[in-house]
Every structure is written in structure tokens, then in C-alpha cells.
């Protein structure tokens, strides 16, 4: 297997890194400190085609595939977790639903402006009683002529306060449950009946919007059913598979950044008459960080290759999310230890990285859920079906 990136993907990485270092890195701390959504950054990302990096060119995308998208998320995660989260919610789950199961008409109407960055997407799955138990959604959609009437709400929705288009999961037949009674819809947020109830005040990723949404007799045209009636849960789970892979890529970028910061600090910080780099305890932490990062890099881009070549990847995507989030958490923890007291001050970006990293073990399916997904797939290969 050839692990070399194509010349096109190498050029894409150079372009993204230059943009990230010149446009995003200088304002990353401010986004966190001021709780600012990077609207201007999102606009510029759209202008240069990066908000549609993985989508087909016929729908306004760049056509760089999942590998290109992972490169984008790695480079964004390297400089700013907030921007990576905002972009991931837009591309990886919000717009991804439409890319995967939308009709040609829906893709022309919705995916094209999303890929161009003219509109922003969000992913409406989680509810107060449906977090890890995602099939337990209570938002209802009732057919009324050529429309569906949507009532209910969603919580913890990234981009929720400013998204133009939200893909929403709702119960359409309670008797059938998740595998036949839940439908996905494309909702425009300027329709009557849509409301942003509140925004969360979070420990980390403070430069992203995490909102509670309410739907009150919101009328959705039948043409905005996404996929088939009753099969919305499957659509959403397929999108989460994609999102979990690219979340692993963002974690890869974040871990690489704190490794580089730690190496620089170990070279320059002198204690007991010599640089920290000469201390075996520090060397071991650097070695552990680098080894896990390299293993994560191989996993992420192998799974991206599987996606781009049309092969099964659900189990490995769960591994990307599980391993990536934990590699990042361990890397940040060791980096803070190497920096000592300065690592927990706001004079150093590690303090922000420490707070930002924690959410990766929770959203897009908790790490406990990922372990269930992985174990279920493994046992299924041996003819055993385990209960969730």
C-alpha cells in the first residue's frame, strides 16, 4: 500500500496550512477569550473552496475526497480547535447528510451553497433524553398534505445559533422505532416556527456556538424529506461515521501542535543547569506522544483511503474518534506537565488546548459508545450479537 499523498493533496495541505497560520492562528486566543464565532474565517474558507473540500465539483465542491477533508481538519485542529469544530459540524455531519442521501434536486438547492460557504449547516440530532441513546428522539413530525409539521427541540447543536440549514431527525411513526419510524428533514432556519432558545456557556471550544433549538409547528415541505421516510436514523448514523473519522483528524492536528510546543519548550527551558530535553522523564513523555501521534496519523489516513475507495469503514471510524480523542487528551496532559506551572496559565496556549480537548471524548458519540460500536462489530464477525 502506498502511503504517499498525491501531489494534489500535498498542494492542498500547503495551501490550508498557509491560510491557517496567517488567518486563523493569530486570532485563535481571541476567539476563545471573547467567545467569538469566527464568521470572517468561515467566509474566507468558503471563498477559497474549503467548505466544500470533499464534495463533488458538480455541487460546488472541490472534489478532494475524504482524504482532502482529513487534511483540512488536521490543519485546522493544529491551530484552532474552535474553527475545526465549526467546520466539522458544517461539512462532516450537517452538509454530509445531504451529500450522502439527498436527491439531485436537494443537492443543487442546498449542498451547492453549503459547499461554496454561502450558507452554513448544522446537525440536529441530540435531545435532552437522546444523547448517547440517539434513537430515543422525541421531536415529532406529522404529515399534513404536502408538508410535515415539526414540533420539539434539540440541544447541544454546534452552529445552531447561526446556521442557515439544519438537518433534523424526528419521529414520524412511534410504533416502528428507530429502524422505520424516524425520518430526516432539511430545515431552513428562517421558516416560521424555528427558534434558538439559548446558547451554552462552555468550558472549552468557546469560539463555537452550542445551542438549544425549538420547533413549534414548523412546516417542512415533503420535498425536504432527506432520504426515505422512516430511514432517517440510518442517514444520520452514516453521517456520524464520516464525522468521527474527521474528528480523529482534528485531534491529530491538535496533538501534533502540542508535541511541537513541548519539544520547543524542552529545548529552551533550563533546570538544574541543563535543558529539559536532557531529562529522561521528559524524553519519555515526548517519545510516548510522538509514537501515539504517528499511530493515529496512520489510522486516520488509512480510513480516509477506505472511504475514498468505497470500502467499509464504520468500525475503523469509531476507532479514529476513540483513539484520536484520547491521544489528544494524553498529549495535552503530558505537554502541561512538561511546561510545569506555566502550562496552566493563559500566557501559554496549552491552557486553552487542555480545555478544548475534553469535549472530543464526548461529542459525535461518547467514547463509551465508540467502544460499543467497535465491540459489536468484532463480535458480529464471530456470530455473536451483543446488546448495546
Residue 1 pLDDT grade (very low, low, confident, very high; cuts 50, 70, 90)? low
List Cβ<8 Å contacts ≥24 apart for 265-273: 265/338, 265/339, 266/338
Mean pLDDT of 313-335: 98
Mean pLDDT of 324-351: 95
Q: For residue 243, is pLDDT > 80?
A: yes
87 closest CA partner among 136, 54, 56: 54
Residue 211 pLDDT grade (very low, low, confident, very high; cuts 50, 70, 90)? very high
Mean pLDDT of 146-155: 98
**pTM, full prediction:** 0.96
The C-alpha atoms of residue 63 and residue 304 are separated, in whole angstroms, by 14
Q: How many C-beta atoms lie closer than 10 Å to residue 16's C-beta?
A: 24
Q: Identify whether 364 is a catalytic site residue.
A: yes
Query: pLDDT (tens digit, 9 = 90+) per residue, 256-276?
Result: 999 999 999 999 999 999 999
Mean pLDDT of 133-155: 96
23, 188, 364, 381: which one is catalytic? 364
Q: Compute φ and ψ for 188, nearest 5 degrees.
A: -95, 130
Q: For residue 164, is pLDDT > 80?
A: yes
* Contact call for residues 199 and 159 (beta carbons, < 8 A): no
pLDDT at position 241, please? Answer: 96
The C-alpha atoms of residue 206 and residue 37 are separated, in whole angstroms, by 8
Query: pLDDT (tens digit, 9 = 90+) per residue, 70-106?
Result: 999 999 999 999 999 999 999 999 999 999 999 999 9
Q: For residue 284, is pLDDT > 70?
A: yes
> CB-side exposure of 288: number of CA atoms within 13 Å?
17
Complete domains list, the chain, with CATH: 7-120 (1.10.540.10), 122-230 (2.40.110.10), 234-381 (1.20.140.10)
Query: pLDDT (tens digit, 9 = 90+) per residue, 356-383?
Result: 999 999 999 999 999 999 999 999 999 9
Mean pLDDT of the chain: 96
Q: Which residues of 211-245 are buried (b: 16+ CB within 10 A; e: fewer)?
A: bbbbbeebebeeebbbbebbbbbbbbbbbbbbbbb
Q: For residue 134, is pLDDT > 90?
A: no
Query: What is the percentage of the chain residues whose pLDDT exceeds 90?
Result: 95
Q: For residue 388, is pLDDT > 70?
A: no
Higher pLDDT: 134 or 270? It is: 270
Q: For residue 2, is pLDDT > 80?
A: no
Query: pLDDT (tens digit, 9 = 90+) per residue, 13-64?
Result: 999 999 999 999 999 999 999 999 999 999 999 999 999 999 999 999 999 9
Amino acid at each position: 500500500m502506498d502511503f504517499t499523498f498525491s501531489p494534489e493533496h500535498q498542494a492542498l495541505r500547503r495551501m490550508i496550512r498557509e491560510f491557517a497560520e496567517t488567518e486563523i492562528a493569530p486570532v485563535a486566543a481571541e476567539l476563545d477569550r471573547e467567545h467569538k464565532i469566527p464568521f470572517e474565517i468561515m467566509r474566507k474558507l468558503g471563498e477559497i473552496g474549503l467548505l466544500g473540500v470533499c464534495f463533488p465539483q458538480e455541487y460546488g465542491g472541490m472534489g478532494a475526497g475524504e482524504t482532502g477533508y482529513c487534511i483540512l481538519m488536521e490543519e485546522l485542529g493544529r491551530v484552532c480547535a474552535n474553527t475545526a469544530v465549526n467546520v466539522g459540524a458544517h461539512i462532516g455531519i450537517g452538509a454530509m447528510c445531504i451529500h450522502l442521501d439527498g436527491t439531485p434536486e436537494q443537492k443543487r438547492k442546498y449542498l451547492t451553497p453549503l459547499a461554496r460557504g454561502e450558507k452554513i449547516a448544522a446537525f440536529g440530532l441530540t435531545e435532552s433524553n437522546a444523547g448517547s441513546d440517539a434513537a430515543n428522539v422525541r421531536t415529532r413530525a406529522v404529515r399534513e398534505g404536502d408538508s410535515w409539521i415539526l414540533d420539539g427541540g434539540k440541544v447541544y447543536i454546534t452552529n445552531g445559533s447561526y446556521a442557515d440549514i439544519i438537518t433534523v431527525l424526528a419521529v414520524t411513526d412511534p410504533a416502528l422505532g428507530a429502524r422505520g419510524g424516524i425520518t430526516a428533514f432539511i430545515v431552513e432556519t428562517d421558516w416560521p416556527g424555528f427558534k434558538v432558545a439559548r446558547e451554552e456557556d462552555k468550558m472549552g471550544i468557546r469560539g463555537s456556538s452550542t445551542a438549544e433549538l425549538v420547533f413549534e409547528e414548523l412546516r417542512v415541505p415533503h420535498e425536504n424529506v432527506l432520504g426515505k421516510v422512516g430511514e432517517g436514523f440510518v442517514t444520520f448514523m452514516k453521517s456520524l461515521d464520516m464525522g468521527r473519522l474527521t474528528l480523529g483528524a482534528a485531534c491529530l492536528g491538535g496533538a501534533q501542535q502540542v508535541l511541537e510546543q513541548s519539544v520547543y519548550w524542552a529545548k529552551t527551558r533550563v533546570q538544574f543547569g541543563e535543558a529539559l530535553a536532557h531529562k529522561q522523564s521528559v524524553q519519555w513523555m515526548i517519545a510516548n506522544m510522538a509514537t501515539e501521534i504517528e499511530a493515529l496519523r496512520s489510522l486516520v489516513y488509512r480510513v480516509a483511503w477506505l472511504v475514498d475507495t468505497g470500502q467499509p469503514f464504520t468500525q475503523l471510524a469509531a476507532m479514529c474518534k476513540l483513539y484520536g480523542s484520547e491521544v489528544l487528551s494524553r498529549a495535552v496532559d503530558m505537554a502541561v506537565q512538561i511546561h510545569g506551572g506555566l502550562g496552566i496559565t493563559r500566557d501559554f496556549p496549552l491552557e486553552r488546548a487542555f480545555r478544548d480537548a475534553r469535549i472530543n471524548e464526548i461529542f459525535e458519540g461518547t467514547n463509551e459508545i465508540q467502544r460499543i460500536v467497535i465491540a459489536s462489530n468484532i463480535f458480529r464477525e464471530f456470530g455473536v450479537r451483543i446488546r448495546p
